Chain A
C-alpha cells in the first residue's frame, strides 16, 4: 500500500529512541497516523511541529498497518507562531478538534478550512473568527450541523440574528425578539450568507457570541456524551485571542 498526500501535523509522539508516531490531517486520507524513522531527531523535529504543512508519502504492507511516513516540510509556520500565545493555544485546540474525527476518514472540506485557519493564526481577531467557523464546520462533519440558512419560525432568510439552543436553527430578529434572552446571538460572520472575505474583522463581542454558540453545541453533542467538558486549550485560546475568560 502506498499513497502521497499533503497534510497538516496534528502531533508527534516519540517512539523508541529515534522515531516518532506522527499524526497528520491529510487532504484525501483524513486523520492518519504513521511512523517516521528519525522523527525524534534534530533534523526532522522542526518539521514535525503541530500546524506545519507537509507532503507525506505513506507506505505499509497492509492497509490496516500503522505504516511508515516519509515527510517533507512545505510550510514550516509553527516556528513563527512560537512567540504568540493565542496562535499556540489555537494550534493545540484545532489539533484536538481534528482528533474528534474518526481516523482514516476523508474530510477534504475540514482539511481546506484547517489549512486556511492555521495559515492565518498570526492575526488574533481573524484567527478567532476562523476557529469559530472551523468549530461550526466540524459540528457539521460530525453530523450536528446548525441550520443557519433560514428562520426556524418564519422561513425568512433575511435578518437572521439568533440561534435556537433547542433546534440549532437560525431565528430572525422579528420572530426571536420575545425570546431573545433564551436564544444565542448569531454573529453576522457566522451566518450562512456571510461573505467569504468579510471587510473588517469581527468585534470582540461578536467573537464571544460566536464561541458561546459553538461552545454550547460542541459541549452538548460532542464532549458531554463522552463525559468530558470543553477543553482547557479552547478557553485559553479565547482568552488570548478575544480577551476575557
Chain B
C-alpha cells in the first residue's frame, strides 16, 4: 500500500485532479506538483478562475449551452442566422462546431441521446423545448448534428417524427469517409454508408 508523501491538503488536491477526464493518479500528481511550483503564475489565477466560473456559469434557458450569461452569447448574437437551429448532443459538440466555424446559426443542446441501455428516454432530454423552438415562425431549418451511431441516429429519427408537422426542413450530417481517411483502413460499415451517400461530381 503506497504511503502518502504529502500532507492531506495536497493529497486531497491530487485526488480531485485525478477525477478530471484525461488525468489518472500519476498525471494528477504531476499537475498538482506543477501548480504548487508555479504558485503565483498558475495556482492563484487558476483558483480565481475556478471560483468565478463556479459562481457565474449557468445553463442557457433557451438552448442549453453553458455560459456566464443567460441567455448565452450564442443565443443573443444578432449576427447569427435565427432561421437555422443546429441540434447537438452535448455542449462539447457545440464547442467543436464553433471551433470549426462552419455554421453561423443558433444551437440546441439535447443533453444526451436516447439510450435504452442506459435508461435515457425522451423525458430526460431537452426535446420538448426543441419542438417548441422548431415551431417558431422564423425557424426554417433544423440540422440534426448527432453522432453517426445507432443511438445518435435513433434520436435523430425520433426528433424528426416529432417536428415533422412543423414547417421546417430537417437535415442531418452526411455519413462517410472522413477527410484524410484512407479507404483500406476504413471499416466496412463506414464504406457502405459512404457508397450509399455518394454525390455526383
Contact = CB atoms under 8 A, between A and B. Distances in A.
Given A46-B187, A88-B150, A232 B175 contact: no
A95 B116 contact: yes
Greatest chain B CB density within 10 A among A10, A46, A89 is at A46
A41 to B, nearest CB: 12
Contacts of B9: none
Interface string B184-198: 000111101100100
Contacts of A81: 150
A17 B190 CA distance: 23
B150 A76 contact: no
A75 B117 CA distance: 22
Nearest to A91: B150
Interface SS majority for chain B: helix
B21 A79 contact: no
Nearest to A82: B153
Contacts of B190: 46, 79
A240 B161 CA distance: 10
Interface stretch (A48-56, A163-171, A176-184, A185-193): A48-56
A236 B150 contact: no
B148 interface: yes
A17 B20 CA distance: 11
A92 B188 contact: no
B118 A49 contact: no
Given A17-B21, A95-B116, A233-B116, A47 B150 contact: no
Greatest chain B CB density within 10 A among A52, A82, A83 is at A82
Given A46-B190, A76-B188, A82-B175, A92 B116 contact: yes
A82 B187 contact: no
B20 to A, nearest CB: 11
B126 interface: no
B47 to A, nearest CB: 26
Interface residues of A, number: 34
Interface string B19-50: 00110000000000000000000000000000
A3 B160 CA distance: 43
Nearest to A9: B150
A33 to B, nearest CB: 11
A67 interface: no
A85 interface: yes
A47 B189 CA distance: 8
Contacts of A116: none
Nearest to A93: B116
Contacts of A91: 150
Contact of B116 (A51, A78, A96, A240): A96
9 contacts: A17-B21, A47-B187, A49-B189, A76-B189, A79-B175, A79-B192, A83-B196, A92-B116, A233-B154
Given A79-B175, A79-B187, 17 more contacts: A10-B117, A13-B117, A23-B117, A46-B189, A49-B189, A50-B150, A76-B187, A78-B189, A79-B148, A79-B189, A80-B196, A81-B150, A92-B150, A95-B117, A96-B116, A231-B116, A236-B158
Interface of A: 10-11, 13, 17, 23, 45-47, 49-52, 73, 75-83, 85, 88-89, 91-92, 95-96, 231-233, 236, 240
Complex A-B, nearest 8 residue pairs according to Cβ-Cβ distance, in ascending order? A79-B189, A76-B189, A85-B157, A11-B117, A50-B150, A88-B154, A46-B187, A79-B193
